Structure 1
């Protein structure tokens, strides 16, 4: 059954009236009058999406830094021709006209750069995963608080239109108490063959599912997970080292969540999310995570908002925009590093469970193994 037919089937099965969708602020937000200088540290492949979003939003990126100076020069030529380029992050952090830094380096070197940026008086947007050790993450959160700086994590999926609309619906109580959250992704991830990603043992649960663990944390905010069980499987014909199948079950006192990943799906690719509450539910479906049709069910009827935008580049606009708004309004950003540690604890527990075939209590696994 095609996604369109399935969506219509789900709608008609409820036999409710189609009503106007609530107007929720799911689009990326920008500050009113705060326009700081921004510096980018690390200019790898994904940063083209950072800079494309920042340029479209009118953000002032003043400097780019990468150990490979050619990377920084390439990004400058592509997006911010007037920016300065550096090879040493210390030179960028020394600039008083840069108030915010986007740190997009590899995870292993990120903590010391975050620490240096905070001590230099900068607000920080960290690439995900924030840290590979929860104790290190807690120390950086405490440092940010002592420096009176904002520390956020680039969990850009929160501003994918379907996730963002769902987040706002949950936050405003349109679904009541959430009883179940179930997300499944069926796609072909074998494009990583021959790239450094193919050497990541837990490619799905670590590099990819980090977004979905964060959305579980975001949508079930306020509920404490009590147990996690995860498993991995290799498909019969796969040649990649990382398993291309994974699933996770997360138990709460009064709710449940599940994640399912089939990364060797050649035909009929699909991405689905179902959020079940006691006052309403949301169903979202599409051929991938960037193209989604969403349906909201409540006692008032069935609503189908015409969502605009896409995860790329809206996710990157939203992540930086929320940090800038939080700085302007002197509040904690919704994607704060402190909040992100809860999503990371789910990820760490799932990886350990998949390795040991045991149920794991979130928070008891403090760091990822070296051979992730």
Structure 2
């Protein structure tokens, strides 16, 4: 079987910790090229895989032997580079948030369709075993009616993760567009749609910069969301959790409570109304801590969709719906009104 030749555009921490090792581990992949404005950064990866080095993404896209690309760039560049890649005949795995507006997201989706190429957005929380099991429990009725939930994603901020530290593009609004809400919150907006298998219809948000200095992107967000069936919950994102990373989701139902990624020992705990709790260690969720990395499942799903010639599990349409929720939260915070989707 012919291997999928992949080009990686952007060689920061997401490439170092996620894309490069996961593409390398996939038997169906040959990494063909790396591109970064910092040539030395791209070369450091290329030297490990005998790949070509580019400082211009358009030159990389002009290589007809490259089948697919990862777009691992500042948020404001996701849409334009993805659109160029799709027009060049490449399949695209784009990091989240997929765009800075619904108009951009729509153009990405339409360009993928027009060129017959796969577009997948890098939301990895769907592939976490505890989240997959929670979705099954809800679908099987083990919680009965679900009433409310809370989900959170917080850590100390991009300065502890980005290759450029405090000088990272994450803190520059022109490049980032959105802060913690887009970096972390959009993962959770995708997750709740997946776990509950329904859309969000209303959003209220408080989005502000309260912990970081010398930046005008948000570093904390607290959102209230209502699902189509009336279930209500909170979604929080923070770059000010300095001591512990928080990636927990709690779901409150008629027949019991689910605790996901909220216990040091057990990633999945179900407390039924009657009977003893069910506790399982299904593996740790991905973290930014050294030694905490594991396969996200994103790269494997993207490549599988190409090998099997099918739509990926998280196409552009799904990425757009996750984006809509965080954009609605931003609008709500600005207007002080509940926003309908």
Aligned 8 A contact 2:184 2:237 in 1: no
| Distance of 2:81 and 2:37 partners within structure 1 | 13
TM-score under structure 1 length normalisation? 0.74
| Structure 2 partner of 1:61 | 31
1:1-372 aligned within 5 A: 35-49=3-17, 50-58=19-27, 59-77=29-47, 79-80=48-49, 82-167=50-135, 169-170=137-138, 175=143, 178-185=146-153, 187-189=155-157, 191=159, 194-196=166-168, 197-200=170-173, 203-222=179-198, 224-232=199-207, 239=213, 241=215, 244-252=219-227, 253-261=229-237, 263-266=239-242, 270-278=246-254, 281-286=257-262, 293-297=267-271, 302-311=277-286, 313-314=293-294, 316=296, 318-362=297-341
Q: For the structure 1 residues 155 and 243, does the alpha-carbon distance in structure 2 shift closer, same or farther, using more than 3 Å as the test?
A: closer
The alignment yields a C-alpha RMSD, in angstroms, of 3.2
More relative contact order, 1 or 2 (CA 8 Å, 6+ apart): 1
| Distance of 1:39 and 1:211 partners within structure 2 | 24
Name the SS of the counterpart of 2:103 in structure 1: helix
Aligned 8 A contact 1:157 1:315 in 2: no
TM-score under structure 2 length normalisation? 0.81
Aligned 8 A contact 2:247 2:261 in 1: yes
Count of aligned pairs between the two proteins:
323
| Distance of 1:292 and 1:355 partners within structure 2 | 39
Gaps of 5+ in 2: 288-292
Deviations 1:107-163 (A, max 9, x none): 323323222222222211011111111112112212212222111001123334433
Name the SS of the counterpart of 1:321 in structure 2: helix
Q: CA deviation at 1:279?
A: 5.8
Q: CA deviation at 1:250?
A: 0.6
| Distance of 2:95 and 2:244 partners within structure 1 | 31
| Distance of 1:247 and 1:301 partners within structure 2 | 33
| Structure 1 partner of 2:290 | none
Runs of 4+ in 1 over 6 A off after TM superposition: none
Q: For the structure 1 residues 91 and 257, does the alpha-carbon distance in structure 2 shift closer, same or farther, using more than 3 Å as the test?
A: same
Q: For the structure 1 residues 75 and 173, does the alpha-carbon distance in structure 2 shift closer, same or farther, using more than 3 Å as the test?
A: farther
Q: CA deviation at 1:168?
A: 5.1
Gaps of 5+ in 1: 1-32, 363-372
